[in-house]
Amino acid sequence: MFVGDSLSLNMWESLACMIHSWAPNAKTAVIRKEGIAEIVFLDYGVRLLLYRTPYLVDMVRENVGTILKLDSIISGNAWRGMDVLIFNSWHWWTHTKSSQPWDYMQEGNKLFKDMNRLVAYYKGMYTWAKWVDRNVDSSKTKVFFQGISPTHYEGKDWNDPTKSCKNEKQPFFGIRYPAGTTQAAIVVNKVLSRIKKSVHLLDITTLSQYRKDAHPTSYSDHNTLDCSHWCLPGLPDTWNLLLYTSLIS
């Protein structure tokens, strides 16, 4: 089961296509129910599930508005009993003003109109970490964290400040990516260091930073600039090769 935002969707779709290319004649079924999308390869008993939850922690509607609960993860009940869990979250933590889907953050009994997003991300991720420790049986379930998927909206990240990903058709070829390690990746590593259960980091960040050419904006007629998601076939296939290597090692 992939659990997370639209970057989880990117990776889920990639894996489904990769399996289909290996077994093109396999019978399949697509099931959607209660917020979960599922692709079943019937001949092999393989189920690929996707649970969309951009923050991992709960977001609920109350009288005062929509609240992002940094210390609540009741939705995790749907993730139990899986053979493999691949978690992801960061993309939506950066959304502000009209593009954010919540009105308040809550921790304990305190409501916040906003707070430093890296601080909020750490709090939410630590809630997720505690959920893993309390609910995952490592002898039955393998847990992965997808890692931070970088964006390419600002060319200064690769020393070309007038550019974005638009019309980029070549990767970055330098020895070291100029923007360096993202602050979100540092938060992820800090949280993972506190988890007692076995969680494997799919460290996709650096290899993805080099792929400013791999976003759909450069290859579509849409006017909207999308330097967050990835083309398929494309980079998420490499993420899944890392997942496969980790599963069989």
Q: Which residues are marked as active site?
A: 6, 226, 229
| Joined tokens for residue 225 | 């600039």
Q: How far apart are CA 113 and CA 73, in angstroms?
A: 20
69 Cα distance to chain centroid: 19
Q: How far apart are CA 27 and CA 42, in angstroms?
A: 5
- Residue 189 backbone zone (phi > 0: left; psi -120 to 50: alpha; other: beta): alpha
| Four-CA torsion 230, 233, 238, 244, nearest 10 degrees | 120
Query: Quick count: other Cβ atoms within 10 Å of Cβ 220?
Result: 11
Strands annotated E in 122-231? 142-145, 199-201
- ∠ CA(105), CA(109), CA(111), 5° rounding? 30
| Joined tokens for residue 192 | 């993972």
**CA atoms within a 13 Å half-sphere pointing along the CA-CB vector of 205:** 20
Residue type, 217: T
